[in-house]
DNA sequence: CTGTTAGCGCTTTCAT
DNA sequence: ATGAAAGCGCTAACAG
C-alpha cells in the first residue's frame, strides 16, 4: 500500500499527474492515464484521506449527534442519514450525547478537532453559543436563536390528525399525555394542534404535560386516568409514552382499544420490515433524513438554504384504536 | 480558530514548544507552559486532528460495520461500542452494510482510505481475503480463516438453557426454528446446544433450519406447526424469529404461552430502560461491546490478544413462557 | 499535456 | 529547555 510518490515513480510520471488522474482534474493524455492506472493497480494504491483532508480542509465526513442510538426512532433516522450520506460519498461519525449537555458540548468540540464538514444534530441542551460558530449545522425538531437550518415534520398537524381520528373512531372525551423539554422544540406543537382541533370539534379534553425529566411518570399517568375516568381516547406525545400508557392501563384493568383508544406519535418500528405495534402518527423519517443530508451538503457547499423544512405526517392504523368504525 | 503557528507567535515560542505542552511530552518550563496555555485560550485554539493523523499515521477512529443500525440488537451494540470508544478517546465511524457483500467490501475500502485504526465488524459475507490485510479487525460471532479476534457469547449454552427451561416449564415436545448464513457463524451452536440438551433429557424435538435468505418464512413456520402439532415449546434462533412465530401462532389461533411456549434468543430491548417483551436467552451486549473495544485497542497497540472471547448468556423471563411452574 | 514545487498543521529529531 | 527544520501524502499553481 504505497503512496502517490511510489505510483508516480512506477509510472514514470510526476505526482501531479497521478493526482490529476486520481481526481479526473485537468487533462491527461489517454496513454499516460493508462500507465498511471496500471501502476495504481499494481501497487494496490489507496489514497490517504487524511493527507487530502489536511490539504483541502474538507473531510467528507459529517457528525450525527443524537441522544442515543439505542432507540428505534433515532436508529431509523441514523440508518437513513448514513445511507444518504453514503450515496453522496460522505462518511458518518456517530455521537451519542445521552441527553447530557456536557457530552453534547464535548462532542461538538471533538467534532471540530476532527474537522468534520458539518453536524446533523438532534440535541436538547443549550448549545446556542456553540452553534454560532461557523460549522454547518442542521437541527432536527429544534430551533436555535441563530439562523441554523431545521428539519422537522408537521407536528401541529400530527396533533390535529390524532384528535380527528380519535373522534372519528367514536371517542367522547380526549386526553393528551406528554412531556416537554425546557428548550424550545417543534414537538410542543403536537399538543397545540391536538387542543386546537379538539376545540374546533367542541370535544372535551384533559391534558397532562410534564417537564422532563419526569420522575414516576407511570404514576403520573395513573393519576391522570384516575382523575379523568371518562377519557376514552388519548394522544400520546410519543410512541414510547403510548407504550407506558398501555402498561398502566393494563394494570388498571382497562381494555385497549375497547374502553380506551390510544394514538401514539413518531411511528417507530423495530426494524425495516416490521409493522407498527401501535396506532400512531408517523413522521416521515426517511424523508427527514434525506432532507437533513441534502441541506447539510448544500450548507457545506456554501449555498443558501431555506432555514426551515417541514415534512408531512400520516396516520397509521394499528391495534390500539378500533378498526373501521364505519356507519 | 488559529493554528499552532499562531499560538507559537502569540506566546513568542517555537511551534515545537507548543506541541510539547499540547501533548505533555518533553520537559517545558512552568512559565513557558503558562504562556502557551494562555495563548491557546486566547486564540481558542483547536488542534487539527487531520494534520496530526497524517503525521502520526494514527487517527483514533474505528469503524463499526454492521448489517443495519435499524435493529435493536445492533443499535444496542453500537450504543455500547460508541460509549466505550468514547471513554478511550476514540471516535466511531458507522457503516451499514445492508447485508450486501458489495457494500461490505466498499466500506472496508472506504475505511482504509479514511485510515481508521481498526474495524469492529458484524459481517456475513466472504471477506476473508480482505481481512488478511493488516488492518486490526475484531469480529462478532464470526470466524475467518485468519487469526482475527472474535468476540461472541456462549451460543451453545444458550441452546442448552432454552431446552432446559422449556422442559422445566412442562413442555413435552420441543421445536427449534431458525435460519443460518452460508458462512461459518458462532450462532449455529444455538441449535446444537439445544439438540444436545434435548437428547440428554430424552425429550423429542423437531427442527426447522432454513438457509438465508428464506422467502415466505412465515409460511415455513406455519408448515412447521402443521406438521408438528404436538410441539408445545419452541426455541427461536433470534428474538425477531420469535416475534414471527408469535404472529403465525396468533393467526393459527394457538395461545401463547398456554398452548405453546416460546423462548427467543438475543434479548433485544427497544431502548435502555424498557423491559423484554419475550422470554429469551439474553446475550450480554454491553460486555460484548466492551470486550470488542478493549480488544481492538490492544490489537491497534500491537499487543497480542486471545483470539476468541466467549461471554456468558442468561435466561430472562418474559410473557411467552408460563410463569413459575412450581410444584 | 505534464513535471516541479510550495505548503496544509502537526510531531519530532537535532542543535543550541 | 527550546527554536529550527524536515517531512507525513496530497493538491494546485506555475512553468514549460
Would you state the pLDDT for residue A128? 62
| Cα distance between residue A298 and residue A304, in whole Å | 7
Among the CATH numbers 3.40.50.2300, 3.50.50.60, 1.10.10.10, 3.90.25.10, which is that of B61-153+285-311? 3.40.50.2300
Query: Nearest 10 degrees: CA dihedral of A121, A122, A126, A127?
Result: 0
DSSP alpha helix (H) spans, chain B:
4-11, 15-23, 30-43, 49-56, 72-87, 101-113, 128-131, 155-168, 189-200, 217-227, 239-251, 285-300
Query: Does B85 score more than 80 pLDDT?
Result: yes
CA distance B50 to chain A (A): 5
| Domain B155-283+314-326, architecture per CATH | 3-Layer(aba) Sandwich (3.40)
Contact in structure between B186 and B152 (CB atoms under 8 Å): yes
Kindly report the backbone phi and psi dihedral angles of residue A311, in degrees, each rounded to the nearest multiple of 5, phi listed first: -105, 155
Would you state the pLDDT for residue B146? 67
**CB < 8 Å to A3, chain B:** none
CB contact under 8 A, A50 and B59: yes
Q: Write out chain A's pLDDT in tens, 327 residues.
A: 789 999 999 999 999 999 999 999 888 899 999 999 999 999 999 999 999 999 999 999 999 999 999 999 999 999 999 999 999 999 999 999 998 888 888 888 888 888 899 999 998 776 666 665 678 999 998 877 667 899 999 999 999 999 999 999 999 999 999 999 888 789 999 999 999 999 999 999 999 999 988 999 999 999 999 999 999 999 999 999 999 999 999 999 999 999 999 999 999 999 998 988 899 999 999 999 999 999 999 999 988 788 899 999 999 999 999 986 443
Q: Among partner residues B70, B115, B272, which is closest to A48 by beta-carbon distance?
A: B115
Whether B58 CB is under 7 Å from strand C: no
Q: Among partner residues A76, A78, A115, which is closest to B49 by beta-carbon distance?
A: A115
Question: Model confidence over B193-208: pLDDT tens digits?
Answer: 999 999 999 999 999 9
Q: How many helices (H) and strands (E) does chain A have?
A: 12, 12
DSSP-derived letter for residue A126 is: -
Among the CATH numbers 1.20.1050.90, 3.30.1490.20, 1.10.260.40, 3.40.50.300, which is that of B4-47? 1.10.260.40
Region B221-228: what's the mean pLDDT?
Answer: 98
Would you state the pLDDT for residue B130? 64
Would you state the pLDDT for residue B325? 45
Question: From B66, which residue of chain A is nearest by alpha-carbon distance?
Answer: A79
| Cα distance between residue B91 and residue B84, in whole Å | 10
Cell, residue A144: 436555535
- What are A128's strand-pairing partners? none
Would you state the pLDDT for residue A129? 61
Beta strands B280-282; B314-316: pairing state: antiparallel
Nearest nucleotide by C1' from A30 CA? Answer: C1
CA distance B109 to chain A (A): 8
Query: Which residue ranges make up each domain of chain A?
Result: 4-47, 61-153+285-311, 155-283+314-326
Question: Model confidence over B20-46: pLDDT tens digits?
Answer: 999 998 888 999 999 999 999 999 999
| Cα distance between residue B280 and residue B326, in whole Å | 19
Whether A58 CB is under 7 Å from strand D: no
- Could you tell me what percent of chain B has a pLDDT over 90? 77
Would you state the pLDDT for residue B28? 87
- Could you tell me what percent of chain B has a pLDDT over 70? 96
CA distance A104 to chain B (A): 12
Q: Do domains A4-47 and A61-153+285-311 have the same CATH topology?
A: no
| Cα distance between residue B18 and residue A325, in whole Å | 73
Is residue A25 exposed (0-12), middle (13-18) or buried (19+ Cβ within 10 Å)? exposed
- Name the pLDDT band for B302 (thresholds 50, 70, 90): confident
- What are the residues whose beta carbons fall under 8 Å from the beta carbon of A213, sequence distance 6 or more? none
Question: Model confidence over B126-173: pLDDT tens digits?
Answer: 666 666 567 899 999 887 766 789 999 999 999 999 999 999 999 999
| 3-state SS, residue B323 | coil
Whether A3 CB is under 7 Å from strand D: yes
Amino acid at each position: 500500500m504505497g503512496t502517490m510518490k511510489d505510483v508516480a515513480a512506477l509510472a514514470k510520471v510526476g505526482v501531479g499527474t497521478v493526482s490529476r488522474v486520481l481526481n479526473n482534474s485537468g487533462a491527461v493524455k489517454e496513454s499516460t492515464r493508462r500507465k498511471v492506472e496500471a501502476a495504481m493497480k499494481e501497487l494496490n494504491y489507496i489514497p490517504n484521506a487524511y493527507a487530502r483532508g489536511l490539504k483541502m480542509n474538507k473531510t467528507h465526513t459529517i457528525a450525527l449527534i443524537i441522544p442515543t442510538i439505542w432507540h428505534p426512532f433515532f436508529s431509523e433516522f441514523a440508518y437513513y442519514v448514513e445511507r444518504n450520506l453514503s450515496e453522496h460519498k460522505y462518511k458518518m461519525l456517530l455521537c451519542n450525547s445521552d441527553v447530557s449537555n456536557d457530552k453534547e458540548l464535548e462532542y461538538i468540540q471533538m467534532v471540530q478537532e476532527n474537522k468534520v464538514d458539518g453536524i446533523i444534530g438532534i440535541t436538547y441542551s443549550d448549545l446556542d453559543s456553540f452553534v454560532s460558530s461557523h460549522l454547518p449545522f442542521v437541527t432536527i425538531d429544534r430551533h436555535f436563536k441563530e439562523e441554523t437550518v431545521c428539519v422537522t415534520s408537521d407536528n401541529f398537524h400530527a396533533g390535529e390528525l390524532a384528535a380527528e381520528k380519535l373522534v372519528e373512531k367514536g371517542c367522547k372525551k380526549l386526553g393528551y399525555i406528554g412531556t416537554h423539554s425546557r428548550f424550545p422544540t417543534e414537538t410542543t406543537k403536537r399538543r397545540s394542534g391536538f387542543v386546537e382541533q379538539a376545540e374546533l370539534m367542541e370535544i372535551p379534553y384533559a391534558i397532562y404535560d410534564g417537564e422532563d425529566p419526569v420522575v414516576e411518570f407511570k404514576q403520573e399517568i395513573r393519576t391522570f386516568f384516575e382523575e379523568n375516568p371518562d377519557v376514552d381516547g388519548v394522544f400520546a406525545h410519543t410512541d414510547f409514552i403510548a407504550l407506558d400508557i398501555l402498561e398502566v392501563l393494563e394494570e388498571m384493568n382497562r381494555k385497549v382499544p375497547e374502553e380506551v383508544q390510544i394514538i401514539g406519535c413518531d411511528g417507530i418500528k423495530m426494524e425495516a420490515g416490521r409493522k407498527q405495534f401501535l396506532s400512531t402518527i408517523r413522521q416521515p423519517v426517511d424523508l427527514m433524513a434525506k432532507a437533513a443530508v441534502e441541506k447539510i451538503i448544500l450548507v457545506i457547499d456554501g449555498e443558501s438554504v431555506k432555514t426551515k423544512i417541514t415534512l408531512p405526517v400520516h396516520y397509521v392504523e394499528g391495534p390500539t384504536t378500533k378498526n373501521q368504525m364505519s356507519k
